[in-house]
């Protein structure tokens, strides 16, 4: 039996990350390093909590203002809640509850009967139409 020469191993480089992804990672890492430095002292921890509380509350307030207008009001509110959840346990629990209810609702719509789907989509269209009507009256 003749021995076959070993086949060369081809090494492929991992795919390069998307440019926006690496930039987002650098920004996130910078914020995390800044937060770690602030957490080194008790006064720094208090400062971080105050800044997060103020920013999270402002973001939620903007989301509440945008609720009757066409736009991502609920998404902005959830973003503010996610920011608050970085520092506060009550916000973390509320965010987990909200995620669970959203998943429960989407599962109900996806796996429900056609009647459930029609009523859900119809209700959503009514809410969006009402918000659009209100925003047109407000802007006029």
**56 confidence band (pLDDT: 50, 70, 90):** very high
Q: Is the pTM of this model over 0.85?
A: no
Percent of the chain clearing pLDDT 70 (strictly above): 85
Checking 127-132 for CB contacts under 8 A at 24+ apart, the result is 128/70, 131/67, 131/68, 131/69, 131/70, 132/70
Number of alpha helices (DSSP H) and beta strands (DSSP E) in the chain: 5, 0
**17 confidence band (pLDDT: 50, 70, 90):** low
Task: Check pLDDT > 70 for residue 83.
Answer: yes
Packing angle of the helix pair 114-139, 89-111 (nearest 10 deg):
120
**Integer CA distances (angstroms), 112 to 99, 109, 126, in order:** 19, 5, 20
Task: Check pLDDT > 90 for residue 54.
Answer: yes
Residue 69: DSSP 8-state: S
Mean per-residue pLDDT for 126-137? Answer: 77
Structure tokens given for 79: 């973003």
């Amino acid at each position: 039996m003749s021995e076959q020469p070993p086949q060369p191993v081809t090494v492929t480089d991992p795919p390069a990350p998307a440019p926006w992804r690496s930039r987002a990672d650098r920004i996130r890492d910078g914020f995390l390093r800044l937060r770690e430095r602030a957490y080194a002292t008790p006064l720094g921890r208090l400062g971080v909590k105050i800044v997060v509380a103020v920013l999270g509350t402002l973001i939620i307030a903007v989301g509440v203002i945008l609720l009757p207008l066409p736009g991502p009001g609920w998404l902005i509110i959830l973003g503010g809640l996610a920011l608050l959840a970085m520092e506060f346990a009550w916000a973390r629990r509320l965010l987990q509850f909200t995620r669970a209810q959203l998943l429960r609702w989407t599962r109900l719509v996806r796996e429900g009967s056609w009647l459930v789907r029609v009523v859900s989509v119809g209700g959503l269209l009514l809410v969006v139409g009402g918000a659009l009507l209100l925003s047109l009256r407000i802007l006029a």
